[in-house]
Amino acid sequence: MTDTRGRRLLPGQTSRVHVYDVRARTSRLVFESDTVLVEAPNVLDPGTLVLNGHGDLWLLPLPEPGSDAVLDETALVPVPMGGVDEINNDHVLDPSGDSIVVSARDGELYRVPLPAGGPATKITDTAAALPVRRKFYLHGIAGDGSSLAAIVGELSEDDVWTTDVALVDPASGEPSFLTRDEYPTDGCSFAGEVLVYNTERCSPGTAQLVALRPGEAEPTRITADDRVNWFPHVSPDGAHLLYLSYEPGVQGHPADHRVELRLLPGALVHGARIAPVPETLVVLDGGQGTVNVPPWSPDSAWFAYCDYPVAARADA
């Protein structure tokens, strides 16, 4: 959720994009740059990713399957966003495939046409909440496009910052809050009709994954360990739950940490009574920007992610 204004590559650091084949349990490097820091991949179609970088939105045409080619910043195709100055790394593809909803640094949500880009349509109106200062951070869109799953950050007149889950009407921009508490919450996305997100409500100081099912007032805990778990993403076929896992004690979801991409059965989201050990797919240097938003391919066969190694750890 955190804005990344001004974030640039560190000396000796590179920004990389990988695609991970879930069936083969193999990862393939497809992009590497030492000049442009890209984040948060969405999969537009089998051959194209959407990413943000330096406040802009980009398309990345992927190398052909089986190719060893590794692209650089010259392969990035800019997506014009008329009316939007800068975006952060929270953006989600509309199920129609013809637009993307982006979170801008001004706190609003905008709809941008794809793939060509063009004038953006403003969805929200943060001024309506004044004197409370409000910002919207998008993480999911319902399968029929009828609702946006967002984290709403609010700074009260008493200078207290809160983050809550809300469903936003894409037509009116009005939020309907599903949580209203003091616990840090983030990464809300859809798994069918279920909402999955991370919160400290179950374990203050340590983010864990939960599921909020239709008709239920209280979320059901999914993870229960001492690691700091963020950004749950259920595959389109419902089989897999991918998430980002930090080492114990990490606060928030910072950049440039040693993190893991972990996998659990998607059935846990819908109430399956199993207690599997999470499978670690990848250990990497990343965190912020790695998988902030849904990274799955439409066929659930693969997902995309980013990492940011420095020279001394590039081969780690």
Report pLDDT digits (tens) over 239-261. Answer: 999 999 999 999 999 999 999 99
> Residue 143 is encoded by which pair of tokens?
């399968």
CATH code 2.40.50.110 for 15-313: no
Query: Residue 312 and residue 135: Cα distance in Å, rounded?
Result: 38
* 314 φ, ψ (degrees, to nearest 5): -60, -30
Tally of CA atoms within 13 A in the half-sphere of 100 that contains its CB: 33
Q: 114 burial class (0-12, 13-18, 19+ CB within 10 angstroms)? A: buried
The answer to whether the peptide bond before residue 295 is cis (omega within 30 degrees of 0) is no
pLDDT band, residue 65 (cuts 50/70/90): confident
Q: 242 burial class (0-12, 13-18, 19+ CB within 10 angstroms)? A: buried
Residue 153 has pLDDT above 80, yes or no: yes
Per-residue pLDDT tens over the stretch 173-228: 999 999 999 999 999 999 999 999 999 998 899 999 999 999 888 999 999 999 99
Read off the pTM.
0.94
Residue 313 has pLDDT above 70, yes or no: no
What is the arithmetic mean of pLDDT over 274-303?
95
Domain boundary assignment for the chain: 15-313
Q: Scanning the structure block, which residue is given the tokens 């793939």?
A: 115
Query: Residue 229 and residue 262: Cα distance in Å, rounded?
Result: 9
- The contacts of residue 9 (CB under 8 Å, 6+ apart) are 15, 34, 35, 37, 308
